[in-house]
Amino acid sequence: MGSVAATVASMLFSGGCRSLAVPAAGRSLIISRTTLRNHRNKNAPSWCCRSSHNSYTALATESEFSKTDSESLTASTSSDSFPKYDRLLPCPLQKTPPRVEHLVVSEGGPVLEHICKALELPPLYVKDLIQFGAVYYALVCPQPPPTATEEQIRVYKEVTEPSVLRQRASIKGKTVREAQKTFRITHADQFVEPGTYLRVHVHPKRFPRCYEIDWRSRIIAVAESYVVLDKPAGTSVGGTTDNIEESCATFATRALGLTAPLMTTHQIDNCTEGCVVLARTKEYCSVFHGKIRVKKVKKLYRALASSPMPTGIITHYMRPINMAPRLISEDFIKGWHMCQLEIQECRKVPWPTPAIQDKYHVEDCGWPYQDFAYECKINLLTGRTHQLQLRI
């Protein structure tokens, strides 16, 4: 295989989650609760301090929400080995509202017990959240946002007081900033000491398409140091912040019966379908990254446009801020990243039928139906993240 080709899902339907592809001990201080109500602006989540000492009583104000979660989570097995995820699976038919909880531990103990009691969630469900990679910790609580209330500021100052931090052996030799770095909780019985910050993604982003795929049939090549996978649309290559279980790397590893997990070497969007290279060793990750740096990896994309595109090089500029939406401009703006792509071919194709859209779970983006669309073959000259978002 002389090049790594990636078949991109359409620009035409890029707004969807999936797009058309062309071929008991211890207490916690709740310092924040982020739910659907205060998640409308994802870039500026608000903190809702409930209590500094008795988080369980404070949770009563939102007990209906917690009870609904608890009642909908079926704790059907007592196994700790997690051969199957039958508490978070099958995927819900409807999307659950965003819910991220921020806690500060007040008494040392197992992390599972803190979360279960503070958030009133079944132990088996919390174990699955941990297995999904949806629970994080930091030795020291991060600084609250500018919108924080006086009570939230008080809680933060209380647990980050220099005299308090000096007594914690776990952060000796670290700056406060270093101690505020978050890491995934990997074991349900992991001990967390007083002052530890916890972030719990109660409703992980789900990828139900993972369970519809014959993953063994999507394997293109298996070598000693890497695997080439034809990634399905509607899946994540290596997982998300709150879900590393439902990923191409995880399912491809299981399909091949490998004992060591496959590792990502590069990414293509969730809505994109095409070839990805997964490493079997850390050494090959470095090798592949080196090939990308010296442009020995060629990425070819296919995308649908609603109108014909001229062949040749297209240049635009992208705001250098790693957050959505990615702002772009056709005109040069100082400090913005230049993005270039080459349209090598553009051919007329039938407009995707409702059956095709339904097969690939294409969400309605409001595009009016036409007789034809235009399939473009694109060579990326720069590798900026999301540079193909441009609605040409």
What residues act catalytically?
269
Q: How far apart are CA 39 and CA 41, in angstroms?
A: 5
Q: How far apart are CA 227 and CA 256, in angstroms?
A: 10
Which long-range CB contacts under 8 A does 39-42 form with residues at least 24 apart? 39/97, 39/98, 39/100, 42/98, 42/324
Please, how many CA atoms are within 13 Å of residue 151, restricted to the half-sphere of its CB?
A: 11
| Number of alpha helices (DSSP H) and beta strands (DSSP E) in the chain | 10, 16
Q: How far apart are CA 361 and CA 364, in angstroms?
A: 9
Helical (H) or strand (E) element with 349: strand 337-350
Partner residues linked to 32 by β-bridges = 102
Instruction: List for the chain the helix, strand, coil content (%; round to 5).
Output: 25, 20, 50
Strands 183-184 and 109-110 come out as unpaired
Find, among 29, 7, 2, the residue nearest to 304 by Cα. Answer: 7
CB 288 within 8 A of CB 262: no
CB burial of 338-372 (b: ≥16 within 10 Å; e: otherwise) equals: ebebebeebeeeebbeeeebeebbbeeeeeeeeee
